[in-house]
């Protein structure tokens, strides 16, 4: 089984290397400072105290941190995406399904007024051991070597994903089960997301969105909604949420980094968030849609080089970061809900209604998919594509366990 997986990884690596081009960041992170809290506070119009302790500041839409990025100084904000034929023609995805989950800060009935965006106050926890740059960004990929062959395993990162490559991708969508995984250390994190990327494997551009338990970023272990971007493989550019200039938020309904409720527990009701990331054909901006109706905002095309055209790969699944990944003892930080995949029983993490948008006029299931996991003894995958109308992807695991010591 291991030999087969090594062969699959080698084939994937070869395919990706043929399909991708080396990309460079449009601007260095030295020109992308962390969002200035004092500046944000100066544009505050309203403050909301959430029952979970978060403070949400409603700030002027046109005074948000995004416009501090040098590439966006003369950017004209796009208040809504252009007409999206893919979404309109996707008959099986257009439905009246109710948005089943919300955010804790909205429980009181409070909301930010139109013309403002909700910004979670105090994103950075300065008491943690990592530097500010590593808190707002993922650590860049460094790959391990095994028998003189390059492995796809990133140092300190472990993924369990469903992958598609080989086409021009203009969007991707999925229903992600919202879980509450254990995160062992304050510097660890566990995420589940939809990711679109382009560029060389060591210097890629990507946009992603989903949920995260990330104490080093948020200061607690609640499950929170996030967006993330980078233009150079997280070496010097990009960040989570609004912690650096870049992402332009337009919605007053969703706060980036705010806690999600309710969350799913094994053998109980499953709760999902629907994430759709798509490229605007007229502006080259990459939009994030939440729950089939809320257009949260976008990453401007000016941030990227390769992604200004299209993505060349899409991933759905989970990721764990810990300095104990790949070591013994392994981290006990969980992925998904901490359970190994159990197929259609649904007691692990999962992503359903998996869709991509390519050159066709509608959202569809990908022509080709492949599962991949860095450490199948720690975090595994299970793709269910036979005998069901719509394929489903299950993933996750506990990290450290008797077969992952």
Question: What does the alpha-carbon distance between residue 340 and residue 382 come to, in Å, rounded to a whole number?
Answer: 9
Rg (Cα) of the chain, in Å, rounded? 20
Answer yes or no: 208 catalytic: yes
* Percent of the chain predicted with pLDDT > 70: 79
Flag whether 79 is in a domain. no
- Identify the CATH number of the domain in which residue 382 sits: 2.60.120
SS3 104: helix
Asked whether residue 299 is assigned to any structural domain, the reply reads: yes
- Inform me whether the pLDDT recorded for 404 exceeds 90: yes
CA-CA distance, 44 to 32, in Å (whole number)? 22
In three-state secondary structure terms, 272 is strand
CA-CA distance, 258 to 296, in Å (whole number)? 13
User: Is there a catalytic annotation at residue 282?
Assistant: no
Most confident listed range (23-27, 34-38, 317-321): 317-321
Task: Quote the CA–CA distance of 255 and 120 in Å, as a whole number.
Answer: 7
- Tell me whether residue 8 is in a domain: no
pTM here is: 0.86
Candidate list 184, 205, 208, 272, residue with the active-site label: 208
User: Sign of the C-alpha dihedral, residues 116, 120, 122, 123?
Assistant: negative
Q: 304 in helix, strand or coil?
A: coil
How far is it, in rounded angstroms, from Cα 104 to Cα 222?
10
pLDDT score of 144 more than 80: no
Q: Total domain count for the chain?
A: 1
Whether 48 is covered by a domain: the verdict is: no
Question: Is residue 380, in this structure, part of any structural domain at all?
Answer: yes
Which residue stretches of 32-76 are H helix? 37-42
**Residues 85-113 pLDDT 10s:** 666 555 444 444 444 689 999 998 889 99
Is 175 in contact with 358 (CB distance < 8 Å)? no
- Domain with 210 in it: 132-138+154-235+264-396
Active-site residue identified among 302, 306, 319, 392: 319
Q: Which two tokens stand for residue 366?
A: 């990908």
3-state secondary structure of 362: coil
Task: Please calculate the CA angle 353-357-361 and round it to the nearest 5 degrees.
Answer: 110
- In tens, the pLDDT along 325-353 reads 989 999 999 999 999 998 767 789 999 99
Q: What is the pLDDT of residues 42-101, one digit of tens each?
A: 678 999 999 999 999 999 999 999 999 999 999 999 999 997 666 655 544 444 444 468
> Is 219 within a domain?
yes
């Amino acid at each position: 089984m291991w030999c087969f997986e090594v062969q699959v990884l080698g084939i994937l690596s070869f395919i990706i290397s043929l399909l991708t081009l080396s990309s460079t960041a449009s601007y260095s992170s030295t020109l992308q400072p962390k969002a200035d809290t004092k500046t944000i506070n100066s544009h505050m119009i309203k403050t909301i105290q959430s029952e979970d302790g978060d403070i949400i500041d409603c700030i002027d839409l046109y005074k948000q941190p995004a416009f501090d990025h040098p590439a966006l100084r003369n950017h004209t904000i796009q208040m809504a995406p252009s007409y999206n034929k893919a979404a309109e023609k996707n008959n099986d995805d257009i439905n009246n399904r109710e948005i089943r989950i919300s955010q804790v800060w909205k429980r009181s009935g409070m909301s930010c007024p139109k013309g403002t965006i909700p910004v979670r106050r105090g994103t950075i926890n300065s008491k943690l051991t990592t530097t500010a740059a590593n808190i707002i960004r993922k650590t860049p990929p460094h790959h391990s070597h095994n028998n003189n062959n390059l492995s796809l395993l990133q140092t300190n990162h472990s993924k369990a994903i469903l992958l598609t490559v080989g086409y021009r991708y203009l969007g991707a969508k999925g229903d992600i089960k919202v879980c509450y995984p254990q995160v062992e250390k304050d510097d660890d994190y566990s995420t589940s997301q939809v990711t679109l990327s382009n560029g060389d494997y060591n210097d890629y551009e990507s946009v992603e969105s989903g949920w995260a338990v990330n104490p080093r970023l948020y200061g607690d272990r609640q499950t929170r909604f996030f967006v993330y971007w980078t233009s150079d493989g997280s070496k010097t550019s990009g960040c989570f949420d609004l912690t650096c200039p870049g992402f332009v938020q337009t919605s007053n309904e969703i706060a980036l980094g705010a806690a999600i409720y309710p969350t799913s527990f094994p053998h109980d009701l499953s709760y999902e968030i629907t994430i759709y990331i798509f490229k605007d054909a007229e502006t080259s901006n990459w939009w994030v849609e939440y729950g089939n109706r809320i257009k949260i905002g976008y990453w401007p095309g000016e941030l990227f080089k390769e992604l200004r055209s299209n993505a060349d790969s899409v991933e759905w699944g989970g990721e764990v970061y810990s300095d104990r990944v790949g070591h013994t003892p392994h981290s006990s930080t969980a992925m998904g809900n901490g359970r190994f995949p159990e197929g259609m029983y649904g007691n692990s993490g999962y992503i359903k209604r998996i869709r991509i948008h390519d050159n066709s006029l509608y959202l569809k299931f990908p022509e080709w998919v492949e599962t991949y996991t860095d450490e199948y003894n720690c975090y595994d995958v299970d793709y269910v594509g036979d005998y069901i109308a719509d394929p489903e992807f299950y993933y996750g695991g506990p990290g450290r366990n008797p077969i992952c010591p």
